[in-house]
Structure 1
Amino acid sequence: MQINDVDKYKEECGIVGIFSNEKINLSSMLYFALNSLQHRGQESCGLTYSNGYQLICHKDMGLVNEVFTKNNLNDINGFSAIGHVRYSTFGESTVVNAQPILDECSFGQISIAHNGNLTNAIELKNDLEYHRLKFNTSTDSEVILKLIEKYYDSSIEKTLEIISKHIKGGYAAVILEKDKLFAMRDCNGIRPLCIGKFSNGYIVCSESCVLDMLGGEFIRDVLPGEIIKIDSNGIETVSLMKNTICNTCAFEYIYFARVDSKIDGVSVYNSRFKCGETLFKECPADADIVIGVPDSGTTAALGYSKAASIPYTLGFVKNNFVGRSFIKPCQAKREEAVSLKLNIIKENIQGKKIVVVDDSMVRGTTCKKIISLLKKAGAKEIHYRLASPIVKSPCCLGIDTSNKKELIGSNMTLEEIRTFIGVDSLGYISIDGFLNSLGHKKDACLKCFM
């Protein structure tokens, strides 16, 4: 049966930057890097690379393997590159708005790949247009490029420090000149970004799983409010805001990031597993089996199973060849888009009391359909557990969320939600329980739960 996955916060975007001291085949590195980040966006993807003399950009609508095939990107040789996979949170889903964005400025070519949202993008764009700067896209990413053009002061690094004081929101970006690569992260560290090393140079990327895929060595996370430069002299911090706190988006740990990534020093796998253990302590249930809703709920289900001493069993088969489908930006089309196909393993479900562990609930629609499937398969009891706190507020920092009226946790009591989705019991992890899953890191952006 097909299930419309409109009950989840959608991924942000994924970005990668590569700098090599020697000319290398960038296409294979970018292909594997962007494939590793495909879960963060499936609308479009692209790359900009430098051959040492100029920047060249290729981008198109579709998945990484489709776009690379379309553009015959099998033999790109150069020194540096940036890449992007997109889920649109600002601007229409069109090839014009696909990234990276390449611009010709008075000081030369520049290209950007950006993840997140600028909360003051409209205000900034209006001011830039007043100063006669012309836009080719409707994205907030181009706002950053035009700010660089407006405030350019002898070098990109100086200019980035200037414009970082003007832009607000949650963002991470990689910026390419013909002989330099820059990376910057918002002052609250909402969007993730890390640095790695390979034999000939450096990699900057949204998640550490990229480094593992490429055989790179993790160095560190980009700090909140930090701007770094990578060139033939190596890597250096050119600007760092003081007195910042790393409030990484909570949903990076709950849902967005790949389970084999580390985000700001926290293992995503360990965090989700500990959430599952805490869920049992806070919301125990008498059951025969524990199952997880794939993929993000699976690790928390394993943690719940261990803590409860209740066997973990496969309850669902997911068609991985469908994946998280081409996500359409308008709500009406999202309702039509099928991004998750699940089938129940009836032999494991029939006549059983079941704990179902899911990563989160936004609107409640998908949960309700999953529960209907389990009931049809003969489940005796269904106890639904959520490895995130109750989502009560929309996000304006880079996640495409509903308005407050559509958030089930904002409009119903726990008992009303339980009745609506049709389960025998319902439990969410507490905010304190979630924070404890992060171990030594006790700071995260929790605005969605307030």
Structure 2
Amino acid sequence: MVDTSMSTHPFDDDHLNEECAVFGIYGPSDDASAHTALGLHAMQHRGQEASGMVSFDGSQFNAHRDIGLVGDIFGSEHVMSRLTGYASIGHNRYSTSGGTIMRNVQPLFADLEFGGFALAHNGNLTNANTLRRELVRRGSLFQSTSDTEVIIHLIATVRGESIIERMAEALREVEGAYSLVALTADGVIGVRDPLGVRPLVLGRNGESYLLASETCAFDIIGAEFVREVEPGEMVVLDGGEPRSLRIFPKQPQRFCVFEYIYFARPDSVLEGKSVYEARKNIGHELARESAVDADLVVPVPDSGVPAALGYAEESSLPFEFGIIRNHYVGRTFIEPGQEIRNLGVRLKHNANSAKLKGKRVILVDDSIVRGTTSRKIVQMVRTAGALEVHMRIASPPIAHSCFYGVDTPEREQLMAYQMDVEEMAKHLDVDSLAFISMDGLYRAMDETQRNNQLPQFCDACFTGDYPTELTDRASTDSPQLSLLTELQKT
């Protein structure tokens, strides 16, 4: 579920943004909704616009969806007392620049031939528009503008004796990236796309089994991580041990490498790798590739912290919090005029001049997208008295848009598409600028260098090597593929 445009709110960081989180649980106790709310809370970083939950208590489905943060939506006893049941799924949605409408808040629910069916989706279908047009031609009536609803209509119309058969058949028609959790009267179902672009993990808490986008959702409720859901695998939770069905043939995985660079919480473990350690490793590799004489290493908080720690360790330079972040800035606490827009970055970041004055500073950040925030941060550090400002980026230059569930600008708006590194350095007003190389990124991931084997990650935002067909992009004028573009008109 993806909005097409990069958020332009003046207080937002200039980063790529993950679109959503999913969570599911099935077990004998009647506290599924409480565990779901806690799991969604742990994954709040993956979506701050809206959240929803659907539970099943053996006789009926119970649902609650709203705009806002998880704690505000599910923090009242009145709401939670109505979400009874031993099975539940939930979803967090990322804030977009378009207007918010309730019909797009997930999980989506439908009464199908075999009974109630709720679905939550992390990712993006690259042929959603094409499928939607065909479904409408055949008589389907859509209630939302989300590509997630395309999957529901496919399930409703394909042949199959069971929901499992129908889901498998429907998913053979879709392209793109997805991790799904679904809820029926019989249990909870999790599915991951054949390339495993988006994450999905399986956990256990006593006799209950859980599905989530990240392992940090298990930690908050004391559940144990069992394993990754494999690419192309369907996992069925319906009592007893989880059932595994292989609904797609195995093929080389293309997990999103940006999960390690920025999206995932540092304390999560994805594909057997600690996110925190991966980011520190990137910092080590970045220092080996682009050392520079300086006095201290300063992260751009919060996402640049682990990479900056690695850079400081490798270069034997002091690590200092030369920039302090204010975590309590809301999106709409003020209606910004142009003067306030110009001050926007200072509402989230402030220079710690006591550490910066008279120093040669290495700023470490996870990425540069459009460069707007990076330029303002550099100016702020110089104003605080830094003698030199060198910027080091823990990802290769982002020169291509993502079509797999990540909120990105059009390619023409990406700084790395418009300029080479030297031009970018001049525009940002830094004394030097360096990005980690593609081979360096793969070395940091403990992978063989890219030119010696097929890439093990989806790195399309750096290379333009998209691992699936981009059907909608080829067949329409729409630059991005999500049906949520209609939010701009709602």
Shared fold per TM-score greater than 0.5:
yes
Residue type matched to 2:461 in 1? C
- 2:31 paired residue number: 25
The answer to whether the 8 A contact 2:55-2:89 is kept is yes
2:197 to 190, 200, 206: 190
Picking from 176, 185, 190, the partner of 1:169 is: 176
| Aligned partner (choices 126, 129, 138) of residue 122 of structure 1 | 129
Quote how far apart the aligned CAs of 1:404 are: 1.3
Name the residue aligned to 1:200: 207
Q: Is structure 2 residue 353 aligned with structure 1 residue 346?
A: yes
Select the residue among 43, 54, 66 that pairs with 1:48: 54
- Aligned 8 A contact 2:114 2:163 in 1: no
Letter aligned with residue 39 of structure 2:
A
Distance 2:77 2:430 in 1: 49
Return the match for 2:19 from 12, 18, 22. 12
Unaligned runs of 5+ in 2: 1-8, 333-337, 449-454, 464-490
- In the alignment, which residue of structure 1 is the partner of 2:405? 398
Question: Distance between the aligned counterparts of 1:93 and 1:115, measured in 2?
Answer: 18
Q: Say if 1:89 and 1:240 are closer, same or farther in 2 by CA, change over 3 A.
A: farther
1:425–1:90 CA distance, 2 compared to 1 (3 A): closer
1:443 aligns with 456
Flag structure 1 segments of 5+ consecutive residues without an equivalent: 327-331
- After the TM superposition, which residues 375-390 of structure 1 pair with which residues of structure 2 at under 5 Å, given as runs? 375-390=382-397
Deviates more, 1:44-53 or 1:236-245: 236-245
Cα displacement (A) at 1:70: 6.8
Residue deviations 1:220-270 (CA, integer Å, cap 9, x gap):
111111111110243111234223222111110111000001111111111
User: What does the per-residue CA deviation read over 1:20-68, in whole Å, with 9 as the maximum and x for residues that have no partner?
Assistant: 1x23223321221111110001110010000111211110111111112
One-letter identity of the residue aligned with 1:205 = A
Residue 329 of structure 1: aligned partner: none
Hey, what's the Cα distance between the residues in 1 that align with 2:247 and 2:400? 31
Once the two structures are TM-superposed, the CA of residue 440 in structure 1 deviates from its matched residue by: 5.0
Aligned residue identity for 1:58:
H
CA RMSD of aligned residues (A): 2.2
Instruction: Give aligned-pair identity as a percent.
Output: 38
Please say if residues 89 and 399 of structure 1, whose CA atoms lie closer than 8 Å, have aligned partners that are also in contact.
no
* Residue 65 of structure 1 pairs with residue 71 of structure 2: yes
Question: Distance between the aligned counterparts of 2:343 and 2:297, measured in 1?
Answer: 29
Q: For 1:204, what is the secondary structure of its paired residue?
A: strand
Q: 2:40 aligns with which of 15, 34, 38?
A: 34
Which whole-Å deviations, capped at 9, do the CAs of 1:329-358 have from their partners, x for residues lacking one?
A: xxx9xx899697111111001111001000
Secondary structure in 2 matching 1:397: coil
Could you say what secondary structure the match of 1:281 adopts?
helix
Q: TM-score, normalised by structure 2?
A: 0.86
User: CA separation in 1, counterparts of 2:75 and 2:143?
Assistant: 26
Give 3-state SS (helix, strand or coil) of 1:189's partner. Answer: coil
Partner of 1:138: 145
Which moves more between the two structures, 83-92 or 411-420? Answer: 83-92
Instruction: Give the count of matched residue pairs.
Output: 441
- Residues 337/183 of structure 1: CA separation in 2 closer, same or farther (3 Å cut): farther
Which letter maps to 1:348? K
Query: 1:69 deviation in Å?
Result: 4.0
Q: How does 1:247-262 map to 2 (within 5 A)?
A: 247-262=254-269
* 1:298-317 alignment runs, 5 A limit: 298-317=305-324
User: What does 1:220-235 correspond to in 2, within 5 Å?
Assistant: 220-235=227-242
| 2: CA distance, partners of 1:365 / 1:400 | 16
Tell me the distance in 2 between the aligned counterparts of 1:57 and 1:336.
42
Aligned equivalents of 2:221, 2:240: Cα separation in 1: 22
